[in-house]
A and B are shown apart, each in its own frame.
Chain A
Amino acid sequence: MSGFPFLTLVVFAPLLGTLALLMFPKARVESIRWAAAIFSAVPLVLTLVMWVLWGRTPAGAFGMKFAESFSWIPSLGISYSLGTDGISFPLVVLTALMTFVAVVAGWKMIATKERAFFALLLLLETGMMGVFLSLDYILFYVFWEIVLVPMYFLIGIWGGPRREYAALKFFIYTLVGSVIMLIGILALYFLSGTGTFNIMEIAQAAGSIPVAAGRWIFVALFLGFAVKVPVFPFHTWLPDAHVEAPTPISVVLAAVLLKMGTYGFFRVSYPTLPGAAKYFAVAIAALGLINIIYGALTAMAQKDLKKLVAYSSISHMGFVLLGLAAGTQLALSGALFMNISHGLISGMLFLLVGAVYDRTHTRDIAKLSGVYVTLPVIATILAFSLFANLGLPGLAGFVAEFFVLAGTFPVSVLWVALAALGMLVVAGFNLWVMQRVLMGEAKKEYAGLPDATRLEIFTYAPVVALIIALGVAPGLLMRFLNGPALELVQRLGGM
């Protein structure tokens, strides 16, 4: 392959960072922080360069850009193949941005074992990037599993009081899911008869798989991805993981890790097994609607601010499932848009909840009041994020929801009506949080707490700017998504 190896660098620059950090003496905390920031900035800069070059870069096989491929284990058809298209590239940018934000947010928040923390966070980034960029199932699976290890430690060591329970639950849950997924992948390998683990080639050849077997494989893959999304009823690891995880990790978890699940649907399940996808459409829509409504109602019942945001994520991921189930151009584009908008908005919410927690040392909604008065800047940005979360038009979240439902309408009015009901509940819990936490008499014990620092503003600014920019000019993102969405529509039989 000719050309500059952008993708290899994007995937492995953070790993290089991990190794580099381990060479620093533990005590040189300030250097470690800077090194971590610089190493996480490398993929960010590279992805931005790729963004600029995107239009000028010709698409190779299967519409992949910046593709790299080397034979790895030729006898089994395993290769080192990386490539990116409109489905993965926005997620890659999101990963680069949110990891960088998490690293910078971790500068002051993480006060023990800094070296290990940042090393693991960078390792995590390599895993996530690898998942989004791999075009070979074995490579994909390896990266998928790599993600688990640093995440386990990051929650288990730097987490809250029940960190070990949460870390273990996360690990076992996703491990069980990924093992089932692996069965699906192996079945694909054998049944497609291509003799290759290339994701795109198998997708092309998967028409030869018997219908019944295809459905079983779809279910296996679905279970693996569903745990990550997470889809009801496999979601209870998420609130625990979020509550215990330190703020930067919550940010990465919500913004990027959940998208590994939805990415799996878009990259693997739907293009490879469109027949099965159509067969299960009603079931997936039902699960999506349960996620939306049940997630929102459960969020409303939460007393812990972080848990509430976690359930809110579950609710929003339901829109992605619904868009997939509907399978129209608008719905699929909207669902892909939701991946990004939710990544930005939920990341923002966890940053801010963390900022409030750092100062007040509580996440108990009942103990917070009048934060508008105590911490005006943080509260204003939190209010902004909550409104983005409830789908305020003009912001990124609205675009996703609006077009998912606009695209779902021709398929089922009932689904739209139920999702719209869910939107009401979503509005309800977001407003209720504002009423209880931001408004009201300022608590005396929190008087005089410092408001947002410059460093914090620095981490918020790009995310806030993107939330507004994607709401006002969604074309910035949509231009990446339309092609893949159209291709999926065609594979699904031009619904």
Chain B
Amino acid sequence: MTLLENIWIVPVLPLVSWVLITFFNRRLGERAATLGTATVLGSFVLSVAAFVALVRHGAPVSSGGLWLSFGSVELSMGFTVDSLAAIMLLVVTVVSSAVHIYSMGYMHGDRRYQRFYGTLGLFTSAMLLLVLADNFLLLLIAWEIMGLCSYLLIGHWFEEAWPRMASMKAFMTTRVGDVAMMIGIWLLFSQTGTFNIVETTQAVAGGQISLAVTTVGALLLFGGAIGKSAQFPLHVWLPDAMAGPTPVSALIHAATMVAAGVYLVARSYGIFLGAPDALLTVATIGGFTALFAATIATVQTDMKKILAYSTISQLGYMMLGLGVGGFVAGTFHLVTHAFFKALLFLTAGSVSHAAGTLEVHKLGGLAKKMKVTFWTFMVGGLALAGIPPLAGFWSKDEILLETFVTGHPVLFWMAILTAFLTAYYMTRLACLVFFGPPRDKHVYEHAHESPRSMTGPLVALGVLAVVAGLPASPLMGKWLVKFLDFGQTLPGLMTGGGAGAGATGAEGAVAAVGHTLAATGAPGGGIVLPIALGAAFLGILIGYAVYGTRQIRRESLIRAFRPVYLLLKNKYYIDEIYLAVFVRPAVRLAELCGLFDNKVIDGAVNGVGSATVAVSAAAGEFDNTVVDGAVNGVASGTMATGQRLRRAHTGLVQSYMVAIYAGAGVSLAVLLWFLFAR
């Protein structure tokens, strides 16, 4: 209980590490890693304790207080530990700990070792804060600080051009989504007067907000999620984010930060439930992104980029799950994916550590040289492909089932096709990296297994990639499903919706989706499992036929589908389109503004100066317009004097004093005339 009420300590621990590392950078040296790891492990232990405490307690616990008051408007700020938050705390601290330990080996000798660990600590803190936030404002703060850390870590090796560009691209692209999200937050705030998520949800469920506003608000929030979770059309930054160190890719760009968008949708699920069209949009964007990114992943040749597109695709899967009403399915996949995708990225790091390259056509046959890396990769890969009984199987199956039983046939078949492609590209990757003959002798001879600090985390995450799905499987009585159950997460919504006086569309939708939540084991779902497994095995089979046994020749495939191949190879030319439509015109517009400011406005200013000199020379009349001209004229006259009296500053100011009093006197005269002459 006391821990749940003082949960702030969990995010504060890694924050302390960041502060200490920032201030004692040089003195700490490589001890920064120990400090960072210790704090994150501390957070992990506390997260476990909090999880246990929550299971015992059985209801969400909130803490916090007044943050800011605007007279009538009072804003509170606080934390909520509910089942979703408790599980996310575990996921974040586990992956972060693994990455902290792994980086001791991987980043050893790096020129900015301390900065790396410091930023990692700040990131972990922000992500934990995000998970615990009970209001949109705190969530936004944590959200953007994560973005900052992501930016700093992508640009860790900023001497090279690619990380430099990629870091800015990442921040700017996600910023587009963030701005949409902020507008959504303002919109909801203008309706409810609160940033609190549960209160906003209750306002939606209670019918205080119109359906149209709820829909727009939900869609704007989803805009932020699209940016952060790299969904189409804002997915472009994530593949480039691979320019950062691989442990960063594993933690931030695979397991945790990119899942924050999914988490946002889950956290504000009550709002989405009140807006069925918005929910359907989430499902559609998610389903489309899943398939879209999977197609690109099939032709990429950089191990990390393949995994990056796979991440985009799997995040789409989670969105799909949430969008069709599968709250548990979507969040559950978030959890399992965090483990096996972090694992896959860390194996990629291990490969690059050993071989010095991630270009798949230069690798090959590494299975013999890197046993631990190889086996953990296989576990992660099979989990991703959805092979039972590994973690990914259970969560993926849950999403497919939800999509099927809620009556979304098109999305269902897109998801099945994605499952097939996922199995295919993972098989391709496995074959190119670990099987077959070495393609580059030099690389192969150089390769060696990574140190223990790196293989240890691989094994730990490997175990989780196997067992993390079990709590939600029938083997354990679907315990996790019940624990995560939406009704328990937000009790206020269900009771508020049921007891609400005026029945609205929003309320109806809540009831409808609530119904499908209960109907997860509905009849007709029985054929989903065989179809999904069939797709996965077919993908593996074809992948193995092309890249393993080579019964199907890759070259002939490329020749047969040349236009498609080129389209995929160039990632649908979306980067090029954005460059031409947004980036270049924006830069051009900025240049035009600069030119306009310099030539036209400043030109006019200087022009007015010299013009008034001429006008004031001719001025003899005493009406209003000329008064104005005279004031300017005196000023411009002094400019001319100024040119002559370059060194005599005092003389100048005297003339200004004259100008001041002349101006004042003239204006006084005009005013008196204006007042008394009528």
Residues of the B chain whose Cβ atoms lie less than 8 Å from the Cβ of A410 = 190
Interface string of A381-403 (1 = CB under 8 A from B): 00000010000111000100011
Asked whether B45 is an interface residue with its Cβ less than 8 Å from the other chain, the reply is no
Residues on B with beta carbons closer than 8 Å to the beta carbon of A431? 151, 168, 171-172
Known: A179-B660, A392-B145. A441 touches B70 (CB 8 A): no
B158 close to A440 (CB less than 8 A): yes
Give the complex CA separation of A372 and B155 in angstroms. 12
Given A301-B594, A440-B164, A475-B69, are A190 and B675 also a contact pair (CB < 8 Å)? yes
Does A168 make an interface contact (CB < 8 A)?
A: yes
A148 to B183, CA, bound (A): 41
Best-surrounded residue of B151, B179, B586, B675 (most CB of chain A within 10 A): B179
Contact of B660 among A175, A300, A420, A434 (CB under 8 A): A175
Within 8 Å by CB of B72, from A164, A329, A373, lies A329
Would B671 and A183 count as touching, CB distance under 8 A? yes
Of B68, B137, B143, which is in contact with the most chain A CB atoms at under 10 Å from its CB?
Answer: B68
Q: Which residue of A lies closest to B632 (CB)?
A: A176
User: Which one of B95-103, B200-208, B349-357, B601-609 is at the interface?
Assistant: B601-609
Residues 25-60 of chain A: 1 if any B CB is under 8 Å from the residue's CB, otherwise 0?
000000000000000000000000000000000000
Could you tell me if B186 and A405 are in contact, using CB atoms closer than 8 angstroms? yes
A69 sits at the interface (CB 8 A): no
Give the number of chain B interface residues (Cβ < 8 Å): 69
Taking a contact as CB atoms under 8 Å apart, the answer to whether A392 and B601 are in contact is no
Docked-complex contact B175 and A424, CB < 8 angstroms: yes
Q: Beyond A233-B601, A333-B70, A482-B70, is A393–B145 a contact (Cβ under 8 Å)?
A: yes
Which residues of the other chain, B, contact A169 by a CB distance below 8 angstroms?
605
Chain A 148-190 interface mask (CB, 8 Å, partner B; 1/0): 1100110011000000100011011101101110110011001
Select from chain B the residue with minimum beta-carbon distance to A172: B635
**Which residue on chain A has the smallest CB distance to residue B141?**
A393
Q: Is B249 located at the chain interface by the 8 A CB criterion?
A: no
Other-chain residue from A175, A420, A427 in contact with B635 (beta carbon distance below 8 A) = A175
Q: Are A435 and B164 in contact (CB under 8 A)?
A: yes
Residues on A with beta carbons closer than 8 Å to the beta carbon of B492:
none
What mask results when residues 401 to 425 of chain A are scored 1 for a CB within 8 Å of chain B, else 0? 0110110011001001100110111
Q: Mark A432-460, 1 if CB is under 8 A from B, else 0.
A: 10110011111000000000000000000
Contact pick for B186, options A156, A180, A406, CB 8 Å: A406
A-contact 0/1 string along B636-674, CB 8 Å cutoff: 101100100010010011001001100110011011000
Q: Give the residue of B175, B187, B632, B646 whose beta carbon is less than 8 angstroms from that of A164.
A: B646
Q: Which residues of B contact A90 (CB under 8 A)?
A: none
Contact status A478-B671, CB under 8 Å: no
Q: Which chain A residues lie closer than 8 Å to B638 at the CB level?
A: 172
Contact B190–A435 (Cβ < 8 Å): no
Q: Which residues of A contact B555 (CB under 8 A)?
A: none
B590 to chain A, nearest CB (A): 4
* B372 located at the interface, meaning its Cβ lies under 8 Å from any Cβ of chain A in the complex: no
Return the chain A residue nearest B670 by Cβ: A183
* Total A residues in contact with B, Cβ cutoff 8 Å: 80
Which single member of A330, A387, A474 contacts B73 (CB below 8 Å)?
Answer: A330
Instruction: Give chain A residues whose Cβ lies under 8 Å from the Cβ of B8.
Output: none
A439 x B172 contact (CB < 8 A): no
**A187 contacts across to B, CB distance below 8 A:** 671
In the bound complex, do residue A416 and residue B183 qualify as a contact, i.e. CB atoms below 8 Å apart? yes
Are the CB atoms of B649 and A330 closer together than 8 Å?
no
Task: Tell me the bound Cα distance from A432 to B590 in angstroms.
Answer: 13
The listed residue (A370, A405, A440, A473) touching B182 by CB distance below 8 A is A405
Taking a contact as CB atoms under 8 Å apart, the answer to whether A372 and B675 are in contact is no
Q: B1 within 8 Å of A by Cβ?
A: no
The verdict on A329 contacting B70 (CB below 8 Å), with A187-B671, A406-B186 known, is yes
Kindly state the separation between the CA atoms of A440 and B157 in the bound complex, as whole angstroms: 9
Cβ–Cβ contact A298 & B144, under 8 A: no
For the complex, is B445 an interface residue (Cβ under 8 Å from A)?
no
Beta-carbon contact of B141 and A394 below 8 Å: yes
Q: Are A298 and B590 in contact (CB under 8 A)?
A: yes
Total A-B residue pairs with C-beta atoms closer than 8 Å? 178
Residue-wise interface mask of B (374-416) relative to A, using a CB-CB cutoff of 8 A (1 in contact, 0 not): 0000000000000000000000000000000000000000000
Query: Is the C-beta of B591 less than 8 angstroms from some C-beta in chain A?
Result: yes
Interface contact B168-A435, CB-CB below 8 Å: yes
For B185, B593, B601, B671, the residue with the greatest tally of chain A CB atoms inside 10 Å of its CB is B593
- State whether the Cβ of B631 lies closer than 8 Å to any Cβ in chain A: yes
How far apart sit A49 and B649, CA to CA, in the bound complex (Å)?
39
A271–chain B nearest beta-carbon distance, Å: 17
Given A393-B144, A474-B68, check contact A149 B653 (CB 8 Å): yes
- Taking CB atoms and an 8 Å cut-off, the chain A residues in 291-306 that contact chain B are 294, 297-298, 300-302
Distance in Å from the Cβ of A174 to the closest Cβ of chain B?
10
Contacting residues of chain B (90-138) with chain A, CB-CB under 8 angstroms: 137
Cβ of A204 under 8 Å from chain B: no
CB pair B671–A298 under 8 Å, yes or no, is no
A360 at the interface (CB under 8 A from B): no
B649 touches which one: A153, A297, A416 (CB < 8 A)?
A: A153
A236: contacting residue among B143, B601, B659, CB under 8 A: B601
Q: Are A409 and B602 in contact (CB under 8 A)?
A: no
Q: Is A145 interfacial (CB 8 A cutoff)?
A: yes
B605, B656, B664: the one within 8 Å of A182 (CB): B664
**A486 at interface by CB-CB < 8 Å:** yes
Evaluate contact between B593 and A301: CB separation under 8 angstroms.
yes
**CB pair B144 A330 closer than 8 Å:** no
Query: Which residue of B68, B145, B594, B659 contacts A302 across the interface (Cβ within 8 Å)?
Result: B594
Would you call B145 and A417 a contact (CB within 8 A)? no
Interfacial chain B residues near A77, Cβ < 8 Å: none
Q: How far is the CB of A483 from chain B (nearest CB, A)?
A: 8
- B632 engages A152 (CB within 8 Å): no
A428/B71 in contact, CB under 8 A:
no
Chain B residue at minimum C-beta to C-beta distance from A482: B71
Roughly how many angstroms separate A409 CA and B652 CA in the complex, as a whole number?
49
Within 8 A of B (CB), among A467-485: 473-475, 478-479, 482-483, 485
B173-214 CB mask vs A (1 if < 8 Å, else 0) is 001100100110111011000000000000000000000000
Are A190's CB and B671's CB within 8 A?
A: yes
Residues of B with C-beta under 8 A to A300: 587, 590, 593-594
Q: Is the CB of A175 within 8 A of B144?
A: no
Say yes or no for B579: interface residue by CB 8 A criterion.
no
Tell me the nearest residue of chain A to B605, going by C-beta.
A236
Instruction: Report how far A330 CA is from B68 CA in the complex, Å.
Output: 11
| List of 4 A-B pairs having minimum Cβ-Cβ separation, nearest first | A301-B594, A439-B158, A300-B590, A179-B663
- 15 further interface pairs, Cβ-Cβ under 8 Å (given A164-B642, A298-B594, A301-B591): A168-B652, A172-B636, A179-B631, A179-B667, A300-B587, A301-B594, A393-B144, A402-B137, A406-B186, A413-B187, A416-B186, A424-B176, A427-B172, A473-B67, A475-B69
Q: List 22 A-B contacts (CB under 8 A).
A: A148-B656, A152-B649, A168-B639, A175-B660, A178-B660, A182-B667, A187-B671, A236-B597, A294-B597, A298-B594, A370-B158, A392-B144, A402-B182, A406-B185, A406-B189, A409-B187, A417-B183, A435-B164, A438-B158, A439-B164, A475-B69, A482-B71
Residues of A within 8 A of B (CB): 145, 148-149, 152-153, 156-157, 164, 168-169, 171-173, 175-176, 178-180, 182-183, 186-187, 190-191, 233, 235-237, 294, 297-298, 300-302, 329-330, 333, 370, 372-373, 387, 392-394, 398, 402-403, 405-406, 409-410, 413, 416-417, 420-421, 423-425, 427-429, 431-432, 434-435, 438-442, 473-475, 478-479, 482-483, 485-486
Which residues does B use to contact A, with CB under 8 Å?
67-73, 137, 140-141, 143-145, 148, 151, 155, 158-159, 164-165, 167-168, 171-172, 175-176, 179, 182-183, 185-187, 189-190, 586-587, 589-591, 593-595, 597, 601-602, 604-605, 609, 631-632, 635-636, 638-639, 642, 646, 649, 652-653, 656, 659-660, 663-664, 667-668, 670-671, 675
